[in-house]
Amino acid sequence: MSKIFKRGAPQIPAKLKGAVDRLLHRGGSREIQAVRNKSIAITSGKGGVGKTITAVNLSIYYARKGFSTALIDLDPLSDVATLLDLVEAESAVEQRNNDNAKAGLESFTIPVFKHLDLIFPSQKLKDVERSALLEKIYRENLSELNRGYELLVFDLPAGSEFEENLVFLPFMGMVLLVTNPEPTAHAAAGAYIKRAYEVYQNLTIHIWHNRFSPNTQHHFNPKDIVGNYNRNVSRELRIDAKTAARLRDFATVPEDPALNLLRGSPAADENVLRFLLDTLMYIHEERIATLAAATISNRSFELIKHFLTHHKTIENIDEYLEDIGRYLRILLELQLRTQDSPSAAPAVDSAEPGAGLQVFTSDEKSGFRSFLEKLNADPLRQRIVRTMELLETKLHELGEKANPFAAGTAVVPDKSVDRELSALLVAIQRTDSQNRLMMNQGGLLLFYFSLYKLFQSETVTELIRSLVPAKKNKKGTLVRDRHRQIQNLVEGDAEYKQRYLKLLKTLHPVVSKQIATIVKTFDLSGLLFREEGGAVLRSAYVKLLTNFLHDTLYSGLSVVVGFPFRSAASAFQEGAEKALHSLRND
């Protein structure tokens, strides 16, 4: 192997530096190179950005594809065992090794399910010196790791301390730095990049944007880690353009509340509200596009449409125009600075990114003003926004009601939601019946509204809950068996599949009847999905119900595999495949 450490690197412990050099060059380094070529490091500048969730999901994804995978937990603060619902197994491993400092790899291994093992779980090695830990992995157990696994995913400790994190990087074939669109996360990620590149001369860091949202707030560009970091440190601490060019934006995984571990047991009534809100977001976006078609031709309208969709309230048109201009300047500045490089160069010194860049001509600004006035006065858009705000309030209140520390929470009455949604469906059919895309979205809204009505029945929601596997915890209380559900996603379960199909067959005619009732009551036949001959397209409703049930049963696991129609799952899969390809070809 070539020289590892950069000349003039900041002071690092000589003992650890020697251990790294010795291990990497031992015996011609052939076997250690083989292990390195199958190793992916998941790291972050700070905690709370989704590093461990990313490591767990990558491991599950690769195991599900059939690769023998080890998830190696080197983070003393990690909650890997909790995510995988292996707390009891973790305790057993810790107890087994308390008095056995020379235990082999198998003593630190928990089989999770087919093709996936968890190694070194929790805090079992917290008192071991890093040089001793390196010896345990890359000398004592190197051959076992090489023979036993095709892929190794390392969950490293958060932060840029050499002894805790950076010391492992030379042993990795790929380094994925996880961050999210939040100023402190970007500051910590920038500090990590600065420190890592000061230590190592041949290192490429791949950026994994987690819980990503393209919104910009307070001059903050959610993709520009280097720029956001540089703007908040002194000149000598900034990341230069040459260093920034070595970074690679690798994955952009959007926020997805349905995949949030904190949601606990799945709740059909909450999940259908999320589906309703997702559909309303697309309806809102389409209405904006329809109203803009005759008046707006600005080259940046797709970006502006996104801004309008996520900033629904327009109280002062002049201030709103300024906000749009600031948003576009931030994005335009990043585009100008990165057009010749795949990564972000350091930000300019201006207090506001993009200051001085012109994003509107005077005519365009006048046209936008007229458009915003039209948008604000549109009755259909007003009703869409009002309905979204009502559903957002209800969803928030349901979450608070489930919180044991939020006593006396009043939830928006179902009748209020029924009234707003039915009125909106009528308005969509009456106002935009010639817009096929809008009518299709209206058909989706009709379907999810029908589910919402059904889930006001405890009998129906209990049918769904009955399919969630349960187990007794240490206190003897029945809780959701999350491990079994994840195992179902990875390995499949014939008995569970039969129960799932039975539930689907039970619910489908009930849902169909509910849709027919709403259509008849409000004269909404134009919103039904139909075949070319005019008959109701029953297969579409079966597919919609299947996807909804699957999503509801498996939500709250913080697992993205098995959700083929969710944008977060698609983005994650793309990033996982890209990582696998890069690891094997770079």
Give the CATH number, domain containing residue 66: 3.40.50.300
The 10 Å CB-count burial string (b at 16+, else e) for 483-500 is bbbbbbbbeeeeebeeeb
Q: Is the domain of 78 the same as that of 213?
A: yes
Q: Is the domain of 183 the same as that of 49?
A: yes
Helix, strand, coil share of the chain (percent; to 5): 55, 10, 35
| Torsions phi, psi for 518 (to 5 deg) | -65, -45
CA distance 226 to 346: 6
CA distance 326 to 329: 5
Q: Which among 239, 254, 256 has a CA at the least distance from the CA of 205? A: 239
CA distance 557 to 265: 9
Is 338 within the bounds of a domain? Answer: no
Is 311 within the bounds of a domain? Answer: no
Per-residue confidence (pLDDT) for residue 333, from 0 to 100: 64
Confidence of residue 366 (pLDDT cuts 50, 70, 90): confident
Per-residue confidence (pLDDT) for residue 371, from 0 to 100: 85
The region of weakest confidence among 269-283, 304-318, 453-467 is 304-318
Q: What is the overall mean pLDDT for the chain?
A: 84
78-84: average pLDDT:
83
- Alpha-helical regions (H) of 492-536: 494-522
Is 353 within the bounds of a domain? Answer: no
Q: 11: buried, middle or exposed (CB in 10 Å: 19+, 13-18, 0-12)?
A: exposed
- Residue given tokens 């979450």 in the structure block: 399
Q: Is the domain of 164 the same as that of 266?
A: no
Per-residue confidence (pLDDT) for residue 340, from 0 to 100: 43
Confidence of residue 49 (pLDDT cuts 50, 70, 90): very high
Is 355 within the bounds of a domain? Answer: no
| Residue 476, number of CB atoms within 10 A of its CB | 6
Give the domain range for residue 545: 261-273+384-559
**Model pLDDT for residues 527-547, shown as the tens digit of each residue:** 999 998 899 999 999 999 998
Q: Is the domain of 252 the same as that of 393?
A: no
Is 79 within the bounds of a domain? Answer: yes
| DSSP string over 439-490 | HHHHHHHHHHHHHHHHTTSHHHHHHHHTTS-EEE-TTS-EEE-HHHHHHHHH
**DSSP label of 261:** G
| Torsions phi, psi for 488 (to 5 deg) | -60, -40
CA distance 70 to 52: 14
245-269: average pLDDT:
77
CA distance 49 to 254: 13
Pair 559, 57: CB distance under 8 Å: yes
The token duo for 52 is 């461990």
Pair 521, 528: CB distance under 8 Å: no
Q: Which among 48, 222, 185, 70 has a CA at the least distance from the CA of 137? A: 70
The count of structural domains within the chain is 2
Q: Which residue has the higher pLDDT, 41 or 336?
A: 41
Q: 220: buried, middle or exposed (CB in 10 Å: 19+, 13-18, 0-12)?
A: middle
Q: Is the domain of 266 the same as that of 121?
A: no
Is 307 within the bounds of a domain? Answer: no
Confidence of residue 348 (pLDDT cuts 50, 70, 90): very low
Q: Is the domain of 90 the same as that of 126?
A: yes
Pair 51, 158: CB distance under 8 Å: yes
Per-residue confidence (pLDDT) for residue 396, from 0 to 100: 86
Q: Is the domain of 132 the same as that of 266?
A: no
Q: Which among 63, 174, 170 has a CA at the least distance from the CA of 578? A: 174
Is 60 exceeded by the pLDDT of residue 124? no
The number of angstroms, rounded, from the C-alpha of 555 to the middle of its chain's C-alpha atoms is 13
Q: Which residue has the higher pLDDT, 534 or 9?
A: 534
The token duo for 358 is 């012109």
Q: Is the domain of 267 the same as that of 178?
A: no
- Alpha-helical regions (H) of 154-310: 183-199, 225-230, 241-244, 268-292, 301-310
Is 60 exceeded by the pLDDT of residue 254? yes
Per-residue confidence (pLDDT) for residue 202, from 0 to 100: 84
Q: Is the domain of 164 the same as that of 268?
A: no
Q: Which among 420, 5, 345, 2 has a CA at the least distance from the CA of 199? A: 5
The region of weakest confidence among 266-270, 414-418, 519-523 is 266-270
Is 70 exceeded by the pLDDT of residue 123? no
Q: Is the domain of 451 the same as that of 487?
A: yes
The region of weakest confidence among 1-15, 83-97, 213-227, 232-246 is 83-97
Q: Is the domain of 109 the same as that of 162?
A: yes
Q: Is the domain of 130 the same as that of 266?
A: no
| Torsions phi, psi for 276 (to 5 deg) | -60, -45
Confidence of residue 409 (pLDDT cuts 50, 70, 90): low
296-304: average pLDDT:
65
**Model pLDDT for residues 437-458, shown as the tens digit of each residue:** 999 999 999 999 999 999 999 9
Is 17 within the bounds of a domain? Answer: no
Is 64 within the bounds of a domain? Answer: yes
Q: Is the pTM of this model over 0.85?
A: no
Q: Which residue has the higher pLDDT, 231 or 546?
A: 546
| Residue 355, number of CB atoms within 10 A of its CB | 12
Per-residue confidence (pLDDT) for residue 327, from 0 to 100: 77
Per-residue confidence (pLDDT) for residue 98, from 0 to 100: 53
Is 80 exceeded by the pLDDT of residue 506? yes
